[in-house]
Amino acid sequence: MKVLPTLFIVLALCASQETRSQSFKEDFYKAHVFIDYEMYDLALPAFLELNRNYPGNANIRGIIGYLYLQTPDQKHKSLDYLANCKSELSAYYKFGNHKESGTPLESIWFLGKAYYENKQYDKAIALFQEYKDTLRTGNKKDRMIVEEDIRLSQIAKKNT
């Protein structure tokens, strides 16, 4: 008879986890719509709420860092979020997927941008170079963009 209450508790916990998982999926896609329409000022509070309700997801932290970079007056806040998720990079990142728990390789570049915005030019240059090293040699467009970021960081460093 002790098996029946234990089984009930296990089933209730599984059902609770499924509901929580379903809620995360719904909340994620509702928040992500704002990114799809480049409404970053609306996406940011939605992803901050996701981060509070479902902590520990590097993808969410990376998105928050990216969103802070898109704000004119809060770019400095991006640094903590992007630096915190750099260790969870994924070469096979799936943009816009609620099951994704890692961050894209582009997070290295975004972190470089965050350092640049915080006037930490040596760190920005190092990260831009690190990101450039991840790019294929045939990816001339992105390589040119990163080289420009390196050049601008070097100029900014000289002018400080």
Q: How far apart are CA 105 and CA 24, in angstroms?
A: 24
Could you give the CA distance from residue 71 to residue 138 in angstroms, rounded to a whole number?
Answer: 32
Domain boundaries, the chain: 3-158
pLDDT above 70 for 5? no
Say which amino acid occupies 12.
Answer: A
Domain 3-158, CATH number (from 1.25.40.10, 1.10.10.10, 2.40.50.140, 3.40.50.920)? 1.25.40.10
89-90 and 103-104 as β-strands: parallel, antiparallel, unpaired? Answer: parallel
Residue 92 is encoded by which pair of tokens?
């096979």
Q: Rounded CA gap, 111 and 123, in Å?
A: 9
Cα four-point dihedral sign 12, 17, 20, 25: negative
What per-residue confidence (pLDDT) applies to 123?
A: 98
Tell me the pLDDT tens digit for each residue of 10-32: 434 444 444 445 699 999 999 99
Per-residue pLDDT of 109-123, as tens digits, reads 999 999 999 999 999
**Quick one: the chain helix, strand, coil %, rounded to 5?**
75, 0, 25
- Tens of pLDDT, residue by residue over 51-100, are 999 999 999 999 999 999 999 999 999 999 999 998 999 999 999 999 99
Residues facing residue 103 across a β-bridge: 89
* pLDDT tens digit sequence for 30-53: 999 999 999 999 999 999 999 999
